[in-house]
Copies of this chain bind each other. A is one copy, B any other.
Amino acid sequence: MPLKYYHAEPMANSLKSMIPLKEKGLAYESVYVDLHKFEQHQDWFLAINPEGQVPVLDHDGTIVTHTTVINEYLEDAFPDAQPASGPLRPRSPVGAARMRYWNKFVDEQVMNYVSMHGWHRLVRVVAGSIEDGKFEELMSHVPLPDQRKKWTQARSGFEQKDLDHALEKIGYALEKVEKQLGETAYLAGDQYTLADINFYSHCGMMVDRMFPQFEVNANYPNLVRWRESVSDRPAVQAALASEDRTQPGLRTWGGDGREHS
């Protein structure tokens, strides 16, 4: 099969490039990488992606990494494979620019802040249960210095001021997204695009369960309407149903069970 997708659980980055594959109806070989076993830092995986991160797209031997880059690649390589709702990347220059504006916002102003809280709750449990010598040994295989730092912080717990700052950023994002979705049906305009897939995967799908203090269902009606419309898409449902080896008690970051498990 010409397309191979290396991924972990269907959330965040791994979900973000799986949804476009399903939306575009592209057949691909799914390769589950078990982060609970640190497979992403093992030699076989580093030979594919020297940065030691999932997901990875392999298209006939061409390796593409980083989800925003993968998703634009899929648009460039398979421009005609599109859902009935329209192209995932708008064909007009201004539509594509609006999509990229939101992709950039999610990539730079949202993703890492939600991720910090996720790591603080979930990875801390995983990293904290590893013996000292073993932890150092595992870290020696992590190629990116920032990623090593994140693991070490997750093991000891992130600083409260960083967690608070992350919450501020998420609150800001919710306000900004709510305002946009009061003006247009989707983030980049009236059509569902890669920008929606991005915000949904990194924040929208689980923000109410991860951060109940925002009372998302009560306070952000446009976001909720949008979230349901994205969640209802068959391609999104199919992606959410893919393999998940996370311990059930850790699945929602809050322990309430994932809606689409």
Contacts and interface: CB of A to CB of B under 8 A. Distances in A.
Contacts of A70: 97
A104 B73 contact: no
DSSP majority for the A interface? helix
Contact of A66 (B62, B73, B104, B145): B104
A101 B66 contact: yes
A72 interface: yes
A65 interface: yes
Contacts of A172: 145
A163 interface: no
Interface residues of A, number: 23
A72 to B, nearest CB: 6
B68 A97 contact: no
A104 B68 contact: yes
A93 B73 contact: yes
Interface of A: 62, 64-66, 68-70, 72-73, 76-77, 93-94, 96-97, 100-101, 104, 107-108, 145, 168, 172
Rank and list the top 7 A-B pairs by shortest CB-CB distance, nearest first.
Answer: A76-B93, A77-B93, A73-B97, A69-B100, A64-B97, A62-B94, A69-B101
